[in-house]
Amino acid sequence: MSIRADLHTHTTASDGTCEPSENVRMAKEQGLDAIAITDHDTVAGIAEAIEAAARLGIEVIPGIEVSSVARGQDIHVLGYFVPYADAAFQEKLVGLRETRHERNKLLIARLQELGIDISLENVYCRKQGTDKNIGRPHIAEELIELGVVSSIEEAFANYLGKEGAAYVNPPRITPQQAISLIKEAGGVAVLAHPGLYDDDELVQELIAYGLDGIEVYHPDNSPDQRKNYQMWAEQHGLVVTGGSDFHGWRGEEPFHAMLASHVAPADAVARLQEIARQRKS
């Protein structure tokens, strides 16, 4: 079945600026058949998205983007058709968010050492609710408000990205553990935006470990990288996916890219769903 789907979007459940129902509404307006909600280390936004989708006649794929670390940098693994309502699965995610909080504290401390008048309390005030899944974009917003930088991109380039002056990476699960976490829960594990890592050897290692798919169509993958990842996926029988990595708006610009600007191949959703069905049977 041919389905046009954006399989990588974020909401206010993590570091997006749009409510889950808003992502669904925009997906419908953009002519998508399906959208995945893939917030960082949480499934808190999925129920609202599914409720909105039922009204609008569009499919929501329950997903997650699991944070891990390998060779000193962040590696993200997308999980699709995860059991978002399962208490045991939700409990496993708590530790991932606690590590994110520890990282935030270390980042703020490093920024303070650099002479920047920023506080953890002010950053966390940027988000409401009890489950404050704060990430680096929230810190970047605070740096903009303080006048330290003029954009999210500048904040990451100068301070928060892997080449930035305040970059820190506390111990986290490995991408192999992230893959296992997703698959053991009955979900489908896909490597997110591999072009960001500049480490094709690691990509090959994760393929050998047991990835189900690769996010080939992503705004941060170059045309040459897409060709390579497409070839590797075909060689290993992996699902090729794609998505915008939409995080809402920072100012007037969409971050990373506009929802529906990057989509998965037409057969991707059906292939992901079949893997999940077999895994849960």
Per-residue pLDDT of 203-236, as tens digits, reads: 999 999 999 999 999 999 999 999 999 999 999 9
Give SS3 for 54. Answer: helix
CA nearest neighbour of 92 among 127, 66, 69: 66
Buried b (16+ CB within 10 A) or exposed e, 3-31: bbbbbbbbbbbbbbbbbbbbbbbbbbebe
Give the residue ranges of DSSP H helices in the chain: 20-29, 46-56, 87-113, 120-124, 136-145, 152-155, 175-184, 200-209, 223-236, 268-280
CATH number at residue 275: 3.20.20.140
* Prediction pTM value: 0.88
**What is the C-alpha separation between 194 and 217, in angstroms, rounded?**
10
| Number of domains making up the chain | 1
pLDDT at 1: 66
Per-residue pLDDT of 238-255, as tens digits, reads: 999 999 999 998 778 888
Domain that holds residue 171: 5-280
Length of the chain: 281
